[in-house]
Amino acid sequence: MRRILVIGAAGQIGSELVPFLRNKYGNGNVIATGRKTPLPDVIKNSGPVIYLDALEKNRLSEVLYEYEIDTIYHMASILSATGEKIPQTAWDININGLINVLEVGRSYKVDKIIWPSSIAAFGPTTPRENTPNITVLQPTTMYGITKVAGELLAEYYYKKYDLDVRSMRLPGIISSETLPGGGTTDYAVEIFYEAIKNNKYTCFLREDTVLPMMYQPDCLKCMVDLLEADNSKLKRRVYNITGMSFSAGEIAAEIKKHIPDFEIDYKPDFRQEIADSWPKSIDDSLAREEWGWNPTYDLSSMTKDMIEILSKRLIK
Ligand code: SER
């Protein structure tokens, strides 16, 4: 059985990844760590939980030793929009955190490290439709810069130290449990909360802004599928993946099918420029070929599921 450390367990993905992994690998084998945000009760009550700042390398090292960790999910990161407000901190947390994880992973000879990259690794010079796995990587956000540097580090540590680091370029993740924070794709989650609570949403992106997205159940699936993929089939460390692509107008129209009174207006802010620098759609054929990536949800099934889950929770 694996002994897994999840760094960043309070985040949008981490908070659902921990229960998902505990279910698969055993409650006691998945150690959840947080730093700033308190961990949800479901995580605190179902298995080991510790305080950990990935910037404290010695502490990270102690944790690996004490808990006999062989697998790390490094999910802690400052996202694109917040990163533009505090670029130096974004660099510090995203890159120095990652290099600490890679270094202690190397010393303790961990079996695998999963570290997500992002569609933010792409930039305005990248082809925007059906963006290939191997393409131009010239991002214009600090978040994107840290993702490109991280991708190169993943390849470097694999080649030089035989450290099995694996990464997927996540699109915007839509989830019902924990709100994302500080990203450009966050609108696609907020819109559901506002539609259900107030029948109204003001979107910070233009109506025709198309971005690649994925529903959380598919995201959790890809986290485990890539971890468990047969290394002899993997020809690279970093994979494009996607679930669906839609514009802000299209998701609003889909929500209207369930909530006919729903109204949306558009007030683009600084995040529009970030969105405009990212792809509209992603070619994930290499992930499909090399490790069987195959998402389940499209815009209509995701919307239906989100509205069902959130309505139960938000309307009392
Ligand atoms: N969801 C992220 C963001 O918007 C993209 O990786 O910053």
Per residue in 194-205, pLDDT (tens digit) is 999 999 999 999
The atom number, within ligand 1, closest to the CA of 170 reads: 6
- 4-171+215-240 is a CATH 3.90.870.10 domain: no
- 173-212+243-278+297-314 is a CATH 3.90.25 domain: yes
Closest CA to 166 of 233, 258, 265, 66: 233
CA angle 37, 39, 41 (to 5 degrees): 145
C-alpha 316 – ligand 1 centre gap (Å):
31
169: number of CA atoms within 13 Å, CB side? Answer: 35
Stretch 16-33: mean pLDDT, rounded?
98
- Residue-wise pLDDT for 254-289, tens only, equals 999 999 999 999 999 999 999 999 999 999 999 999
Cα R_g (the chain), whole angstroms = 19
Closest CA to 302 of 217, 223, 241: 217
Closest CA to 186 of 201, 170, 173, 177: 173
The atom number, within ligand 1, closest to the CA of 79 reads: 7
Report residue 36's pLDDT band, with 50, 70 and 90 as the boundaries. confident
Instruction: Report the alpha-carbon distance of residue 20 to residue 23 in Å, rounded.
Output: 5
Assign 100 to helix, strand or coil. helix
The best mutation among 184, 213, 215, 238 to test binding of ligand 1, ranked by most ligand atoms within 8 Å of the C-beta, falls on: 184
Give yes or no for a contact between 255 and 191, defined as CB atoms under 8 angstroms apart: yes
The atom number, within ligand 1, closest to the CA of 143 reads: 7
C-alpha 173 – ligand 1 centre gap (Å):
8
Whether 120 has a pLDDT exceeding 90, the answer reads: yes
C-alpha 1 – ligand 1 centre gap (Å):
32
The atom number, within ligand 1, closest to the CA of 185 reads: 4
Please list the active-site residues: 143
Q: What is the pLDDT of the chain when averaged over all its residues?
A: 97
Token duo for residue 249: 């107008």
The best mutation among 75, 93, 115, 143 to test binding of ligand 1, ranked by most ligand atoms within 8 Å of the C-beta, falls on: 143
C-alpha 165 – ligand 1 centre gap (Å):
21
Q: What is the pLDDT of residue 145?
A: 98
Instruction: Report the alpha-carbon distance of residue 170 to residue 302 in Å, rounded.
Output: 17
Q: What is the pLDDT of residue 191?
A: 98
Q: What is the pLDDT of residue 277?
A: 98
Residue whose CA lies nearest to ligand 1 atom number 1: 172
C-alpha 131 – ligand 1 centre gap (Å):
16
Q: What percent of the chain has pLDDT over 90?
A: 98
Stretch 213-220: mean pLDDT, rounded?
98
Stretch 27-33: mean pLDDT, rounded?
98
pTM of the model: 0.97
Report residue 316's pLDDT band, with 50, 70 and 90 as the boundaries. confident
- Residue-wise pLDDT for 64-93, tens only, equals 999 999 999 999 999 999 999 999 999 999
Q: What is the pLDDT of residue 160?
A: 98
Whether 16 has a pLDDT exceeding 80, the answer reads: yes
Name the segment(s) of the chain with CATH classification 3.40.50.720.
4-171+215-240
Tokens 């990203």 -> residue: 183
Residue whose CA lies nearest to ligand 1 atom number 6: 118
Residues with CB under 6 A from ligand 1: 79-80, 118-120, 143, 170, 172, 183-185
DSSP H or E stretch at residue 63: helix 57-66
Instruction: Report the alpha-carbon distance of residue 50 to residue 191 in Å, rounded.
Output: 33
Report residue 127's pLDDT band, with 50, 70 and 90 as the boundaries. very high
Give yes or no for a contact between 28 and 48, defined as CB atoms under 8 angstroms apart: yes
Q: Name the DSSP letter for residue 93.
A: I
